[in-house]
Structure formats: structure tokens, C-alpha cells
A and B are shown apart, each in its own frame.
Chain A
Amino acid sequence: MTQLSQFIINGLVVGGIYALVAVGLSLVYGGLRIPNFAHGVWVMVAAYLTVTVIGQWQINLWLAILIILGIMGVVGAVQELAWFRIIRGKSTLVLILAAFALSLVVENIYVLRFGGKFSRSFDFPIKGGFTVGGVVISYQRLTVVLVTVASIAVLSVFMSRTRMGRAIRAVAENADAAAVTGISVSRVYLWVFGVSTAMAGIAGLLLAGMYPVQPFLGANEILKAFCIIIVAGKNNVSGLVAVAFGLGVAESVAMGYLPWTSVGEAIAFAGLAVALYIRPQGLVADPGAPA
């Protein structure tokens, strides 16, 4: 029982990261209909940044979060300007290929810079932990979950309370109608990419404290995020978070009790296959948009 609780706690931590990546991705994919496969690459970039900022410069964790949020936000906006603006509104195939190309470029730059196998990690500044009924909960893991929940909460407030948040939702609903009411669609695109990439940045920062950092860190995350979005529906934040945590726990428990380490991956994909077989349009259908 203790063991099971431990697996569940570990799963919640992993699930939190999945939720961050999936929510960030759903901003761009759900809002702008751009299947941004390059999203995972920014998780990796942020993880490397974290190793530099916290590991080498010894900057305070909370300040580092702000720094990385800022840098990744700008990177996201530049990504939109320099890479995606020119093909805005083209077919999905074109967008998928362009996003793949971007992720290939960034990933291989990091392979050249840091090597494909070589991985780096750093000491997470928050140490220690406590025990509840035999289950060890480290402060680091607790921080991960708290930061995750806080980020998603801040994002929800941003989307519902601020002018820009409402403009983003309007563009997601109907870009032409939003433009008619005087919303600058180009500015919304910049913001969506910026906010989305900043979310990837937080995920990268938290991941860097848990796993070795290597250039292919994001590949797994992006695939899981797409699985989660497909199952939960792309404009459904609470659904995304629920599915992400569920997936994290299921993976962790499966990996704990079954002999193969790969079983964890199998769970996400098998679950996705079953879900898609039952409801090909995604579990939560998105009215008005083709799958």
C-alpha cells in the first residue's frame, strides 16, 4: 500500500509536467490550429537554460523562473515572427512539416553544441522532504506540483480576465470576426506563441531538476502532449490537466509493478489508440472544427 501510494505520488509529479506541456501546446494548436511539433524542443532549450541559470550562476529558484519565463516568451514570439508567420493559414500538412523542420534545426544545433549522448544535470536548490505514513514526499517534488498548478491557474486568469486573454479567445473562436472588431490578429499570434513557449519553459525548468538534460528531452514530452490533447480535446484546460495527471499516475504505477520499463510508454499510446477507436473525434468533441 505504501509502495502504491509512492508510485501515485511520483506519477502526479510526472503528470504535472505533462499537463504544463499539453496546456502550452493546446494554446497554439487549439487556438491557432497550428500543430506545433516544435513545442517540445523549447522544453529542452529551457532545460539547458536552467542548468546554466541555476546550476552555474546559482540564481535563486524563483528569480530563475521569472528569467526563464521572460526569455522563453521572447523566443516564442520570435518563433512566430521568423518561422510561422509566412505560412499562416496554410494547410495542416504544410504547418506540420514546417514545425518538424524547426524542431529538427533546433534539436541538431543542440546535438552539435552539447553532443547527442552527453547529458547535464544540476542540484535542485530545494532539498529535503517529509514522510507521511511511510510515503516519502520530497520538497522538490512538492515544488514541481505547486509550480505546475500555480502556472496553470495564472494562465486561466490571464485568459479569462485580461484584455489580451479575451482577444486570444476571440481569435481562436473566429479570427475574421475578431479582426473586424478591431483586434490585431498578428499581435494575438505573437502573444499566443510567447505564452505557449513560456509554459514550455516552466516545464523545461522543472524537468531539468528531475532528469538528466539531453537534446532529445523534448521529443517524448511533445508526443505525450499530443496524445493528451487528442484524448482530452484541444480547448478544454481542465480536461487536459485531468488526463495529464491520470496518464502520469498510470505510467508510474505500471512501471513500478511490471518488469518492462517500456510499459509506461505503451500505456499512453495504447490508451490513446483505445480512446481514438471509441471516439475518433477525440473524447471531448470540438464543435465546428474538423479532427
Chain B
Amino acid sequence: MSKIWDALTGVRAETRTIEVAPIGSPRSSAELPRLKRRHPDWPYMLLVVAVVVLLPFITDNEYYATVLILCGLWSFHAVGQTVLLGGSGELNLAYGAVFGVGAYMAANLLGFDWPFGLVLILAGLAGGLITAAFGFPLLKTRGLFYAVMTMAVGLLAAKIFIEWTAVTGGSVGLPVPMVDLSFIPLLGDVNPGRLSIAYLVWALVLLGLVFAQRLLASPFGLILRGIGGDEPLVAALGYRAGHYRLLALSLTGVYAGIAGVLFAVNIGYVTNGPFSFWTAFTVIIMVIVGGRESVWGSVIAASFLTALPEVLRSVQSYRMIVYAMVLYIVVVIRANKVAGGIEH
């Protein structure tokens, strides 16, 4: 945390000193230095690519592709949530609802024969805009109140998903048309089937990961983390804290929208079940277990927590109990690390 404060306040900054603007006058993030990263990314990337590409050659079991896709989907969720939770440390419990918006958009728009790429982009945009719309009035609240408000938004959306049957199919659900993914080149002479979806999901995970990581290391991320530590101080330095918080929240919405499309295309049929508060909370568990500020950590935690019960083939409820216990143990052992300078 001290490194962030050094950079934000310009005191003892390693790279350069910032001229201190008069208190309260607006300041932009452009004048801040980038944080240097300690470890290069490419070994991790290589490892991910190797696992995704080589796994089909190692095992004959068709099931691996499903596990691979699920791990990718949850990793994507976790990476998106890291932008907010690893930045300002706020909880977006409406995440599941925006995820649902993406999935329902996929089901409907693909049904009108819209191209897949366009739907993916539109869902991302819609997710971001919707999140910004409900996030704006929430800016006045912080910490617990913020979490409760987002939870309320999520619950309201869950009601809308059930009531608005024309678009969502209610509790019966909607089929999602098959998407032609033959444009994705597959390595080796392996059964394509679900492998192209796995490739697509993991490609997007890596893309989203690079973005999230660069963002958190950028001046924007710096200010965001400063807000998590002491919002009034950051505001007093001249940064418009609300703008940064809203943008970070909206970015999780973009991830949620895209994840919704991927989810819908993978599963082929959407019902309102997954778009609840529990999805949001599962994602938060993964981010916390992986280390709140570490993007790679959330990918590893998401994959591990997804693959483990999947291999054990356990019931949903057992899985939630295992997750909750893991979360509790992590929170107890690393309480100070989890809080990481968050004051609220």
C-alpha cells in the first residue's frame, strides 16, 4: 500500500515527483507514473496455452473439455471482478444480474441470426451501460451500504428475469441457437466438438486478463486502489473519486455481459437459475481466495475451485459449503492481506 501512497501523493516517488496541485482542484491521472510489475507474464500465459492445447492429447475423456470451459468461464468472471475488488475493494453483488443480461441477449439476438462477434460486443457494451446506470446513484454509498445496494439491484433483476417472460422465457428458459465456431483453428487431429468453445473462452480470458492487469498497474488503477484505502484523501488530492469508482464498476459489467454470451453459447439453454446473487458471491470468493489484487491469482483460484468439485462430481450444495469454508479459512488466515489497506 505504501508504494501506492508514495505514487499518489508524490512523496518519495521512485520515478518522478508530482507537483502538488492546490487541494480540491481537479487533477487527471495522466501525470501519474505506472507501477512496475515484478514478474513477467509470459511464463504463465505459455502454461495456460500449453494446458488448453495439450490436454486433449493427454486424455481421451470427453469430459475434460467441459471442465476446461467451466474453468475458463469462472476465470473470466474472476478476472472481471478483480478490476473492482482488487481496485477500490468494493463488492458488486449485482454481478449475476448483468451476467444474466448478457446471456439473455445472446439467446435472443442469436435467434435473430445476428453475427456472433457483434452479439459478443453488444453484450459487453450493454453490460457496461446497465451497470453504469444502476451504479451512478450508488456512488454516494460505500462499504457495507454499497454491497447491500448492489445486492438489492441483483434481487430486483432476478424478479424481472422471472416476470418478463417475453424476453427471458421466465423460469422455463430459452434455447440458444448453435453458433458456428469453425473459424477457430484447432491444433492437431482432435475431436473439435466443444474444444472450439474452450479455445474461444480461454483466448478471451487471456485478453481480459492482460487488460485487467494493465489497468490495475496504470495510473487509473493506482488511483482506484488509493480510493480503497482512503477515498476522502484521494478526493482531496484533486481526483474525482466517483468517476473512477463508477468506471471500475462498469468494467465489471462489461466482463459480465461478455461472460453471459459465452455461458449461453456453451450451455445452449438459459434459465434464470444462474443469474442470481450466488454467482456474484462465488466470483467474489474466487477473487479473495486468489489474493484480492492479483489477477493471475484469481485465474488460478477460479480454475482450482471449479475443477476440484467437478472432479469430485459433487452436488451443488456440497460445493457451496466447500467454497464457503475455503473462503472463511482464507479470510481468517490472511485477514490483513484481504483487507489490504481498505478502511471502510
Contact residues in A for B281 (Cβ distance below 8 Å): 100, 104
Tell whether A255 is near chain B: CB-to-CB under 8 Å. Answer: no
Contact B144 A92 (CB under 8 A): yes
The segment out of A71-79, A151-159, A236-244, A268-276 that lies at the interface is: A268-276
In the bound assembly, the distance between CA atoms of A98 and B281 in angstroms comes to 12
B299 to chain A, nearest CB (A): 20
A-B contact pairs, 8 of them (CB 8 A): A90-B335, A93-B143, A96-B147, A97-B284, A219-B277, A223-B151, A260-B163, A280-B140
Contacts of A227 in B (CB 8 A): 148, 152
Kindly state the separation between the CA atoms of A111 and B145 in the bound complex, as whole angstroms: 28
B148–A87 contact, CB under 8 A? no
Nearest opposing residue in chain B for A103, CB measure: B324
Cβ-defined contact, B142 with A91, below 8 A:
no
Q: How far is the CB of B236 from chain A (nearest CB, A)?
A: 16
Stretch of B97-105, B180-188, B313-321 on the interface side? B313-321
- How many whole Å from A94's CB to the nearest CB in chain B? 5
Of the residues A97, A107, A277, contact of B327 by C-beta under 8 Å: A97
**How far does the alpha carbon of A104 sit from the alpha carbon of B323 in the complex, in Å?**
9
Judging by beta carbons under 8 Å apart, are B335 and A291 in contact? no
Q: How many residues of B contact A (CB 8 A)?
A: 44
Inter-chain contact A101/B152, CB cutoff 8 Å: no
Known A104-B323, A230-B148; 19 more pairs at CB < 8 Å = A90-B339, A92-B342, A92-B344, A93-B143, A96-B144, A97-B331, A101-B325, A101-B331, A108-B318, A108-B324, A112-B318, A262-B156, A266-B159, A268-B152, A269-B156, A273-B152, A276-B145, A276-B149, A290-B143
- Residues of B near A66 (CB, < 8 A) are none
A265 within 8 A of B: yes
What residues of B have a CB within 8 angstroms of the CB of A266 in the complex?
156, 159
The dominant DSSP class at the B interface is helix
Most chain A CB within a 10 A radius of its CB, from B149, B277, B343: B149
Query: CB-CB < 8 A to A101: which residues of B?
Result: 324-325, 327-328, 331
The one of A97, A102, A219, A268 that contacts B338, using a Cβ cutoff of 8 Å: A97
Given known contacts A105-B321, A277-B137, A94 and B145 CB-to-CB distance under 8 angstroms: no
A276–B318 Cα gap in the complex (Å)? 37
A272 and B315 form a contact (CB under 8 A): no
B321 with A86: CB separation less than 8 A: no
Question: Which residues of chain B have C-beta atoms less than 8 A from A96's C-beta?
Answer: 91, 144, 147
Q: Are B160 and A273 in contact (CB under 8 A)?
A: no
Interface string of B275-318 (1 = CB under 8 A from A): 00100010010001000000000000000000000000001011
- A291–B328 Cα distance when bound, in Å, is 25
Complex Cα distance A114/B160, Å?
28
Interface residue count on the A side (C-beta < 8 Å): 42
On chain A, the residues within 8 Å of B328 by CB distance are: 83, 97-98, 101-102, 105
Partner of A272, one of B152, B288, B317: B152
**A42 contacts the other chain (CB 8 A):** no
Residues A87 and B332 in contact, CB atoms below 8 Å apart: yes
B339→A93 contact, CB < 8 A: yes
Collect the chain B residues with CB atoms within 8 Å of residue A219's CB. 277
Residues of A within 8 A of B160 (CB): 262
Contact B339 A91 (CB under 8 A): yes
CB contacts under 8 Å to A, within B133-178, are 137, 140-145, 147-149, 151-153, 155-156, 159-160, 162-163
B89, CB-defined interface residue at 8 Å: yes
* CB contact list, B104-154 vs A, under 8 A: 137, 140-145, 147-149, 151-153
What's the minimum C-beta distance from A103 to chain B, rounded to whole angstroms? 8
B276 to chain A, nearest CB (A): 10
Q: Please, how many angstroms separate the alpha-carbon atoms of A90 and B148 in the complex? A: 19
What mask results when residues 250 to 270 of chain B are scored 1 for a CB within 8 Å of chain A, else 0?
000000000000000000000
Closest to B277 in A: A219
From A109, A220, A230, A268, give the contact of B145 (CB < 8 A): A230
**Interface residue from A97, A104, A109, A260 paired with B288 (Cβ < 8 Å):** A97
Q: How far is the CA of A102 from the CA of B89 in the complex (A)?
A: 21
Contact of A226 among B148, B153, B327 (CB under 8 A): B148
A97–B327 CA distance with the chains assembled, in angstroms? 8
- Which of A102, A108, A265, A280 counts the most chain B CB atoms within 10 A? A108
Which residues from A are CB-within-8-Å of B284? Answer: 97
Instruction: Let me know if B143 and A291 touch, CB within 8 A.
Output: yes
A209 close to chain B: CB less than 8 A = no
Please measure, in the bound complex, the distance between the C-alpha atom of A109 and the C-alpha atom of B336, giving whole angstroms.
29
Cα of A112 to Cα of B315 in the assembled complex, Å: 9
Minimal beta-carbon separation of A232 from chain B (angstroms): 13
Judging by beta carbons under 8 Å apart, are A98 and B332 in contact?
A: yes
Q: Are A291 and B320 in contact (CB under 8 A)?
A: no
Residues of chain A within 8 A (CB-CB) of B140 are: 276-277, 280
Docked Cα-Cα span, A268 to B149, in Å, equals 11
Known contacts A90-B339, A101-B327, A273-B149; A265 and B317 CB within 8 A of each other: no
In the assembled complex, the Cα of A50 lies from the Cα of B28 at a distance in Å of 59
Q: Cβ of B320 and Cβ of A108 under 8 Å apart?
A: yes
Inside 8 A of B338's CB, which chain A residues have their CB?
91, 93-94, 97
